[in-house]
């Protein structure tokens, strides 16, 4: 039975393993560890099957700015599921639980740099629709935004700046 819960310190090694297996490298796992060690994340959830951590999602603060104005949002990612559990709904459950918790915590906006065919199922649309751009040169369809509160991006625009940790990996 799949259970989604907050990360605990005992989950660190399993989270690293999940990210390495899901992405085929240590880049995302290194990013998670840097954000965790510097306490630069907002929400970290794991999906478990029995005692086994099979998935992980991280939400971190980002800044969206234009000129002299800026506002805060959350960046979703990385999100990883062990390959043997992929395409079985675990990732969708994990993302939905994370978005629900972000909403409960009072956050209004989430951005993601991810698969164009995956994230729209949760309501993400190209961030450019709102006048939001990524600080990295990425295709429009892979940088998306979601209003957790309807109208949260009304009249707002700018460039998303990730934390320095994203650029160090």
pLDDT in tens, 61-70: 999 998 888 8
In this prediction, residue 152 carries a pLDDT of 96
Give the C-alpha distances (Å, rounded to integers) separating 68 from 64, 65, 106, 108, 128.
11, 7, 24, 21, 20
In this prediction, residue 162 carries a pLDDT of 85
Domain annotation covers residue 134: yes
Domain annotation covers residue 108: yes
Q: Is residue 167 predicted with pLDDT exceeding 80? A: no
Q: Is residue 169 predicted with pLDDT exceeding 80? A: no
CA–CA gap between residue 39 and residue 16 (Å, rounded) = 16
Environment class of residue 147 by beta-carbon count within 10 Å: exposed (0-12), middle (13-18) or buried (19+)? middle
Domain that holds residue 43: 2-164
What DSSP letter does each residue of 56-95 carry, written as one string?
EEEEEEEEEEETTEEEEEEEEEEEEE-GGGTTTTHHHHHH
Structural domains counted in the chain: 1
- Report the share of the chain in percent with pLDDT over 90: 89
CA–CA gap between residue 85 and residue 63 (Å, rounded) = 33
Domain annotation covers residue 169: no
Q: Is the omega angle on the peptide bond into residue 78 within 30 degrees of 0, that is, cis? A: yes
Report the CATH number at residue 143.
Answer: 3.40.630.30
Q: pLDDT confidence of 166, banded at 50, 70, 90? A: low
In this prediction, residue 47 carries a pLDDT of 98
* Token pair 């979601």: residue: 146
Domain annotation covers residue 144: yes
pTM of the model: 0.93
69 CB neighbour count, 10 Å cutoff: 10
CA–CA gap between residue 81 and residue 89 (Å, rounded) = 10
CA–CA gap between residue 156 and residue 109 (Å, rounded) = 11
Cβ atoms of residues 102 and 110 within 8 Å:
yes
């Amino acid at each position: 039975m799949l259970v989604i819960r907050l990360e605990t310190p005992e989950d660190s090694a399993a989270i690293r393993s999940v990210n390495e297996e899901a992405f085929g490298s240590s880049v995302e796992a290194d990013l998670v560890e840097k954000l965790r060690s510097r306490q630069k994340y907002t929400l970290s959830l794991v999906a478990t099957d029995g005692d086994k951590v099979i998935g992980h999602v991280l939400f971190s603060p980002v800044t969206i700015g234009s000129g002299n104005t800026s506002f805060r949002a959350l960046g979703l990612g990385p999100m990883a599921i062990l390959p043997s559990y992929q395409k079985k709904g675990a990732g969708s459950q994990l993302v939905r639980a994370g978005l629900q918790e972000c909403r409960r915590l009072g956050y209004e906006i989430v951005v993601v740099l991810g698969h164009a065919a995956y994230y729209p199922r949760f309501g993400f649309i190209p961030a450019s629709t709102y006048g939001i751009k990524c600080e990295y040169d990425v295709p429009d369809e892979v940088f998306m935004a979601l209003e957790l509160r309807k109208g949260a991006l009304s009249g707002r625009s700018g460039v998303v700046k990730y934390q320095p940790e994203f650029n160090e990996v």
